[in-house]
Structure 1
Amino acid sequence: MPVDYSKWDALELSDDSDIEVHPNVDKRSFIRAKQNQIHMEREQRKNHILTLKFERSVNDGLLKRISGLLAALKSHASDAPASSSTSPVEPEKRYEAMVEEVGVHLKRVEDLQKELQVKLDELEGEEKKKITSENYHTGFDSSHVNKSASPASDSKPKEKQAQPELLNPEYERKLAAQQDQPALPAQTSGAMMTTISYEFITAHPHILAEKESDGLLVEAFDASLENKEDFARQCVHQALLLQYCRALGKDGVPLFFKRISQKSNAHEMFFKDVQDTYAKIRTRSRQIAAERAAEGASGGVEQIQLHAVEPGTTINITVPDPTSEDEQVKQARAIFEGFKPELRKALESGSLDEVNKVLGDMKVEEAEEVVGLLGDAGCLSLEEQIIDATTEGGRKQLEEMEKLAGGAGETAPSGEKELHPDPE
């Protein structure tokens, strides 16, 4: 059967047209120039068609007016004016000449309309010869989808089919109660979802991803740290369930539930794996809890304490006099009155240990602020300590201070000796 190529005759020149050009002419440039020429001619033809249509619409209106005028003149031909002495032409002939002239104009417009129509038909025919993208249109468009009718229910009772045993057969009721809760991220919701079953995994295959089982194990570890053992064991169970289904391959979900529903080695192996994994997580969480407790006991809590830095000096505590008329003392007393009762009581006792005890119970930021206010109020002052050398304790303290002073004195001369050596 011969192939009919006539349908391609209506196509314009394209980039892959098989044409022959002069060797000195670039084929691509020639095709591009030819395409530009075709587009230009098509645009000119469109504009010409629009112009002809507009002229025809104007001429249609003009024909109506001329036809109306001609009909009015013919109807009033009997009412022509009488002859005048100044006009050499008879009135009837003059009126007939005017009607005839209007008829000539009507004939010209009608002939022009016919010429315009011929040109318009010619241009439109040429426009329809070639296939362009503007000629494309949607043949039909429908968003209606025919749904197959549900088959009629059989009157015969269906035989009971064997179904795999579900780990949680009441999951539908629990899921209905959880539908009103806000949605959580995939990993968190997987950890909170303790009702995984055969139907649920089949309906939500995305939870078989490795990140979901890893997230469940992380949740189990966190729950074990918080002493939520039941929740931790459940998370481990569900995480390993997902791992086993994923490891069994494409049909792993039905295969796993089929094997797990039977009292076989697979059933025992799975639950033993769950118990061992949970035991490892619980042991590690207990170790971490013990390490944290030990660090807290050894490190203690950061505190602010007052101690004299230089040897031979002591920190004395002074309480502003409430009866003083001095302006500075009044301001210091106002700061003192702003302290907590236990701090005021410790300051009034004059014991630095009592003050340190109160500061130790405060937070670091609060204690630093209190120490600054104590300095502003003048409640703390440094004084040199008077050492009684007649007592054994005083002599020991004096010897220690002399050793410290001697060590400092020996360091300076040695440094001077290095900086300024003796020229001899």
Structure 2
Amino acid sequence: MSINYSKWDHIEVSDDEDDTHPNIDTGSLFRWRHQARVERMEQQKKKKEELLQAKQSYQTRKNDMKQKIKEAESKPADMEKLKIELSELELQEKEFLKKEEDLKKEEKLTPWNIDTICHEGMSRTIINKPKPAPKPETDEDKAEKQRTFTNKYKDQIKKYGMMRRYEDSQQYLTDNPHLVCDETCNYLVLWCVDLVIEEKKDLMEHVSHQVIVMQFILELAKSLERDPRSCVAAFFSRIKLGEKQYMDAFNDELTAFRERVETRAQARIDEAVREYEEEERKKRLGPGGLDPVEVLESLPDCLKACFESKDLELLKKTIVELPKEEAERHMKRCIDSGLWVPNAADLESDATTKDANGVEEEVYDEID
């Protein structure tokens, strides 16, 4: 069935300039036309409302008349009168129908304008409830997330860290977008620290370059408030241009990062040395909980010489020459540290003790 477009042929527009005479004030003419159109619409609307009200009033009177006829069935005289009135009302109904038909024809022939050319088909208001704020991640959550990611993608991260050409890195990250995240960067940073500790500085410098590439991609995503995966191409496009200001910022960050890695690696080495020395010290502790090295260093030079020379006779002589309280204090510390073993004569002949350097030597006999 063909569509009838005739209703679009005549549209009344107040500011239609096609038929405006040059001697007529255009602005005033447009206002007059618009005012006349609005007045016609108001009259037509009022006419329609009056017809609707009259029809409703007629319908009410008609219903009342039917009810009276029903109630007056037992009174023939009243019945005739009521039927005559009902007939008159029915004649009025025909008039109302004719008026409605004329009004519809009039509306149909009225040209469309800006107020009647369209109307709102449907409308609704939707109020979005604010999304609850995401629960902040705890340190345990972050650590578990890092472990899971590392276990799953460790080989892929290392492969990216070993790449040299920008084209290869861009293609690899494009093919593996899940690697564009903080977890990849964290793993590469720790790897750089391990490489310094292993004295593989050249490899560390290469991997550190890939770390800064990843950091710049993540920072670009933050500044643009976009997903980091969508910023891979943008970063490599800019880095390949080689703008001096951008490259200087990149190289400065790379140099600072390498210095931080070496500082962190040295801190880990120092910490490991301290832990090792502490473990060794605990192994050396004597029965009284004292370190024989520390006790030996704190002894008077005369007693220290006796232990270092392992001269028992000289030790006996030196103890006798010292004040009694001082001698007892020093010997108690020697016993607590394991430098001196009392009642050594009661031990087996092959019993041994450790000297200040942790080397097993023969036990000195107890001084009488």
Same fold, TM exceeding 0.5? no
Q: TM-score range by the shorter chain?
A: 0.3 to 0.5
Bigger Cα Rg: 1
The normalised TM-score by structure 2 is 0.35
